[in-house]
Amino acid sequence: MPTDLSPTARALRALEILQIRPGTTADELAERLGVTERAARRYVGILREAGIPVESTRGPHGGYRLRRGTKLPPVVFTEAEALGLVMAVLDGQPTAADVDDLVGSALGKVIQALPETVGRQAAALREHASAAPDHYSAPPDPAITSALVASVAARRRVLITYRNESGKEWEAEVDPWAVVTRYGRWYLLCHSHRADAIRTYRVDRVRAVQQTTHRFELPDGLDPVAALEEHLGVGWEFSTRVVFDAPLAEVAPWIRPPMGRLEPSGDGCVLVGSTNNPAMYAQEWLATVPFAFRVDGGQELRAAVATVAARFTAALADPASKDPIDSEHPEKTRR
């Protein structure tokens, strides 16, 4: 942080930090401001003298935070911040370029509130930039997402209605540990009481959420992103088992966590997991792995791989003979 800032500028910076990071301790505030702990406390005092209610609590979860309902000055963006915000929104939801879109309407209100010099650039960017939708993205219902996030924050068990890709619908009682966004998709990481196991659910496939009165505690040291990666390939309807002759170290960079767990096996390795979409697993995941493999487990996956193989074989067929072409020795192709 610049060292030539005035006390007022540092106090405003302290206010911004407390807005973004409620529960910031005096040590943390001092580090972010680039001052001593005593000076950081002085800036908190300046905010209080200005009528801004900064509360402090002791203990391991203590620190400074603004009182709920505190009315603060309007948010001010620099030009770079405003353009970065518009770019991030369009990248995450290309339909936000449309003023009739829910997120697009909200973005329009933000741009409208910006100062003329900044807002003009942001508006131009939104109007003239084109964004292609991510084929794999699946934006969830904001109301469903909000209900799940509220239950995560309150640590309240929920009853969800879930519909899988094939249209099968069921109810599950779960402890919602976290809502995680990953590569354009939103997931609920939770403990399912029906399965008595960790589960990951696509938020866009949750049809309803009902919060219960039962409370739960998060597992110690939970890393939501790491836990999601670990369990994405577990607990689905169709089991999978794929054997590779190549060493695990060579195959691992090509294996996405939702594909399952990669384990050493002799001179090669084996991929064990499950899926609810064998066709996608075969043609979008396995087809991209540049190593020979065989499907040892999962009839559904075996059938899906056979379909992909037949399609590619047909692509090499000689139109005259209808026989596959030997790509290495085309002169030996039967006619």
Confidence at residue 134, expressed as pLDDT on a 0 to 100 scale: 66
Nearest-Å Rg of the Cα atoms of the chain is 27
Could you give the 3-state DSSP secondary structure of residue 102?
Answer: helix
Confidence at residue 104, expressed as pLDDT on a 0 to 100 scale: 84
CB atoms within 10 A of CB 156: 16
Could you give the 3-state DSSP secondary structure of residue 237?
Answer: coil
How many Å apart are CA 76 and CA 92, to the nearest integer?
23
Confidence at residue 171, expressed as pLDDT on a 0 to 100 scale: 95
Hey, what are 238's tokens?
A: 């169709």
Verdict on whether the full-model pTM lies above 0.85? no
Confidence at residue 80, expressed as pLDDT on a 0 to 100 scale: 82
CB atoms within 10 A of CB 50: 12
Task: Give the Cα-Cα-Cα angle 245, 248, 254 (nearest 5 degrees).
Answer: 95
- pLDDT truncated to tens, each residue of the chain (335 aa)? 555 567 777 888 888 888 888 889 989 999 988 899 999 999 999 888 888 888 888 766 678 888 876 666 666 777 788 888 888 887 777 777 777 788 888 888 888 878 787 888 888 887 877 777 666 667 788 889 989 999 999 999 999 999 987 788 999 999 999 998 876 778 899 999 988 989 989 899 999 999 999 999 999 999 998 888 777 777 778 999 999 999 999 999 998 878 888 999 999 999 998 888 899 899 989 999 999 999 998 999 999 999 999 999 999 887 766 555 454 444 444 43
Confidence at residue 251, expressed as pLDDT on a 0 to 100 scale: 95
